Amino acid sequence: MRIVIFGAPGVGKGTQAKIIATKLGIPHISTGDILRNAIKNETRLGLEAKKIVEAGNLVPDDIMAGIVKDALSDKLCQNGFILDGYPRTLDQAKLLDNIMQQLEPDNEYYIAIEVNDEEIVRRLTNRLTCKVCGSIFNISDLNDTTICPKCNGVNSFYKRKDDDEGVIRNRLLVFHSTTQPVLDYYGKQNKMIFVDGSLPVDKVAENVLSKLGV
Ligand code: AMP
């Protein structure tokens, strides 16, 4: 199964992608994670992308093309994948169409998770990530603990630079102006499956999996 998951920043697409990947035994390819790792490791890509990502803008399509071709041509993706964070522009969607056309037909699913903007701002300004295991938490669920409930990492929480309110509002603006047309592009072809992302995480996951028929 090849799944592409869409949604504005903060709708929980990364969390849902991880659940689906585990359930189906396919790799989770997150272009945001790839970029954040490159930034952390100060690779050439990371140095190029740092300012753009931290301001909540989009990394140019030609750079993203290299990343996505590399990731999807990996042997691990041979039996399927869940792609999270790509495509975000119409040109990226056309490149992905080309890649998909070379693979087994009729095994593609496009899912959009939907949440309203004010709920997104509320969620993201309260979001912390564990730098050891990558799990995401809401500050209020942590009850002031500094130990990660998932991996027991000590003092491992950090707030993503692009989770500041001004940057979040810019990311939402970029989503509505540039990525919404991509959702419309797949919607017009009747390929898009829409899921309400305002429900609890496990309920959203249940709805996604049921719409995928698994
Ligand atoms: P995400 O974790 O998917 O929200 O991505 C975090 C950031 O990485 C985005 O705000 C962009 O700056 C950058 N990014 C991730 N995927 C893409 C993409 N497909 N095209 C351009 N920029 C991207």
Whole-number Å distance, alpha carbon 57 to ligand 1 midpoint, is: 8
Whole-number Å distance, alpha carbon 79 to ligand 1 midpoint, is: 25
- The rounded average pLDDT for each run of 10 residues, N- to C-terminus, in the chain (214 residues) is 96 95 97 96 97 96 97 96 98 97 90 96 92 90 93 93 92 97 97 96 96 94
Q: What is the DSSP string of the chain?
A: -EEEEE--TTSSHHHHHHHHHHHHT--EEEHHHHHHHHHHTT-HHHHHHHHHHHHT-PPPHHHHHHHHHHHHTSGGGTT-EEEES---SHHHHHHHHHHHHTS-TT-EEEEEEE--HHHHHHHHHTEEEETTT--EEEGGGGTT--B-TTT--BT-EE--GGGSHHHHHHHHHHIIIIIHHHHHHHHHTT-EEEEETTS-HHHHHHHHHHHHT-
Q: 135-163, pLDDT tens digit by residue? A: 889 898 899 999 999 999 999 999 988 89
Give me the domains of the chain, ranges plus CATH numbers.
2-115+165-211 (3.40.50.300)
Atom of ligand 1 nearest to the CA of 92: 19
Any ligand 1 atom below 6 A from CB of 12: no
* Prediction pTM value: 0.90
Atom of ligand 1 nearest to the CA of 9: 4
Whole-number Å distance, alpha carbon 200 to ligand 1 midpoint, is: 24
Active site positions, annotated = 13, 88, 127, 160, 171
